[in-house]
Chain A
Amino acid sequence: MGVEVGVIKEIFVWSDFDSPTELRDLWLLPFESAMKTIRINMSGPINNEWTLKFTDLERPIGTEGNFEQYIYRLQTHCEGRLWELYTYSSPPLHRTIGPLVKFVPKLGYALFPPNFVKDLLQSYGPNEELTAFKADRDYFSIEVGNPSELVRENFAEMSYKSSNVQEDFVTLVEKKPVGPLLLTSTDFKITYHSSKVRACKIRIEINGRLGQVGKGDTEIFQEVRERALKFLTTQIEKTLLSTQTDRIEVIKDAESHTEIVSREITQPSQPIIIKLTKPIDLSMRRRIEGLFTRDMRKSGFFGNIDWKSDSQSTIRTTDTQGGGDAILNIQLGKDFLLISPISSTTARAVDRIYHVILEKIDVDSLLTHMLE
């Protein structure tokens, strides 16, 4: 039986660090210098758990010299490649993990794509109720369930209170009357009716965020958290199995005075597929090429077209947020895009490429691995 305690909020982050201590030793001081009004104290590990204490110098409290503090706890998974940061308070993201992840190029948010969220909801069947959602396009956002209204630059944001979110989801997101919208935040309630009614409201966001909305049954939350963790773990394992690994082998035989130096590719690269909902036409091909070669502000990538023919282009693109390079292959008339990871490609870069495709090209595309 679940016990109602504090509200838990989690952020899942991909990491290239060998250990969180590397973050503490190499990045926290430069981060504090750059931020000026944020201080971080990192301690641990105790039972594989680190503690990050943020002090916000812009928010004094009580007596002089005291400032607002926010605490996150950190656990690592997948040999340290996936970090789970959680908290029982509600720290402002833009004064804590947000700027840290932005500042440190070896960290990046994990991705909860719409198809994962839809599958998750579907798996709960009648026990699940969609209570709010947010879906975006480049210049367009619809928020249903949380009333507010504001216009920011030329980005229109609309929201309204709905008496039937579930139906509005089908109407606005699935039927696409205003064009394709990318599901970025989903609130849902899971209720179990047994001897006692147990319920928990949960929010899942595209950028690796998962949390309770108000107090609820923690056992239900833990169940969803485990599914999210399993999804991310599987993704990174498959990406690792698709990524080339190699080593230089040196063999010396003193007796025959022989030395052999050679390169052994211990695991060849296997393409990762982004399955699109329609075949690539000329205009889509140009858009994808543009996004991954020169439109850094829109995509966060920059690169070169390495090879191009009438029907195909091969792009080597660099994640400007530090996730490494990857090779993209675009074939006219095909309903998929191939990512060929090279030895420096990280799971973050693969997620970011997929995120760009979801956001700018095809909201219903699916990421699959050749290994599947």
Chain B
Amino acid sequence: MATLSLKTYLDHMDLKNWAFSLFDDGYSLHTYGFKSRRATPSITMEAKTWTPDLVVWSDRKILIVECKGGKPTEGDLIQAKTYADIPESALLTLTGLAKIERKVVLLYFKDMLQSDVEAREALLAKLALQRDILVWTYERGFSVTSVQGSHDEDELDSLLKGGLDVPRLLSHRIEIQPDSPIVLLEKLLFRKLWERAFRYKDTRFTIGTAREILDGHIFAVKNPDKKLNEAISSGESHGLCNTEQPGQVWKLNVILESPPSIQNYLQRLQAVLKYPGLQEFSD
């Protein structure tokens, strides 16, 4: 079990959103043929589960993308290999395409990949032996600037090696994933509860409300209510809500008509990711 700093994790989420935007309509890879994509898929087959960051596919190739916000580690290639082992039948279920070639992409920030020469060299040396795994390097806010490995399609190789445009602004479309730390779920949940409070003039909520407002987000593979309860408890400990009926009804700690109260709530929400002791978590 690796330990990540929260900053590395948030960088990872940024990278994941940038990666997602590479396949937006109008951008080169979409035009090339990668028109189908899914964020944060959870693929379960018998007792095994795979959760890559992103999968995209054309009518002949599927890219399984894993984003790495930090420096390269030995575990990265091991993780990529597990994606190379996803059974073909699972890919068929996902894409509906009987014959599809897979490539696994490890995506790094350029500065992070270059910051540790030894780790980078170790990764690239081992990569030379892997036919189905590639490394893409992303320059923050600019483009994909280098590719190691082959896509087995000259046109695609040349497209990527020439650099890819990315949107001007990073849009945080993927805010959470199943292995996110509870504080990230807490922040998203309490932001949405606050937005809802204005829409319904109602600061009370239940676990059902929480589930409903996070519809569309994948934040747990198993037992989502347990995670939601943890996020609510964490919110309570940070002064964002109070219990009205234990385990059933909570109330946001905000008076909607009072600007000072609103300001306090938002300050507490902003501070959620800065509380001491939360800088490290295990994935």
Contacts and interface: CB of A to CB of B under 8 A. Distances in A.
Given A262-B40, A303-B266, A325-B195, A271 B173 contact: no
A258 B199 contact: no
Nearest to A318: B195
Contact of B44 (A258, A294, A321, A344): A258
A255 B121 CA distance: 43
B93 interface: yes
A248 B174 CA distance: 12
A248 B38 CA distance: 9
Contacts of B199: 16, 105-106, 322-324
Contact of A302 (B38, B89, B262): B262
Interface string A233-273: 00000000000101111010100111111111100110100
A322 B198 contact: yes
B194 to A, nearest CB: 7
B169 A329 contact: yes
A244 B174 CA distance: 12
B86 to A, nearest CB: 10
Contacts of B201: 105, 322
B25 interface: yes
Contacts of B200: 105, 322
Interface residues of A, number: 45
Contacts of B215: 248
A302 B215 CA distance: 24
B62 to A, nearest CB: 13
B171 A304 contact: no
Contacts of A314: 169
Contacts of A105: 198-201
B24 interface: yes
Given A248-B215, A338-B169, A294 B259 contact: yes
A316 B269 CA distance: 13
A15 to B, nearest CB: 12
A251 B90 CA distance: 10
Contacts of A260: 41-44, 90, 93-94
A319 interface: yes
A320 B194 CA distance: 10
A36 to B, nearest CB: 18
B138 to A, nearest CB: 18
Interface string A332-372: 00000010100110000000000000000000000000000
Interface in B164-207: 169, 171, 173-174, 191-192, 194-195, 198-201
B39 interface: yes
B194 A251 contact: no
B72 to A, nearest CB: 26
A196 interface: no
B82 interface: no
A105 B197 CA distance: 10
Contact of B93 (A246, A247, A253, A319): A253
B217 interface: yes
Interface centre among B25, B41, B269, B270 (most CB of A within 10 A): B41
Nearest to A345: B195
B30 to A, nearest CB: 10
Interface centre among A247, A256, A260, by most chain B C-beta atoms within 10 angstroms, is: A260
Interface of A: 16, 105-106, 244, 246-249, 251, 253, 256-265, 268-269, 271, 294, 296-297, 302-304, 314, 316, 318-325, 327, 329, 338, 340, 343-344
Given A260-B42, A261-B41, A262-B55, 6 more contacts: A246-B173, A264-B37, A265-B20, A268-B25, A325-B195, A340-B169
12 contacts: A248-B215, A258-B44, A261-B41, A262-B39, A262-B41, A263-B38, A263-B218, A269-B173, A296-B262, A302-B263, A318-B198, A321-B198
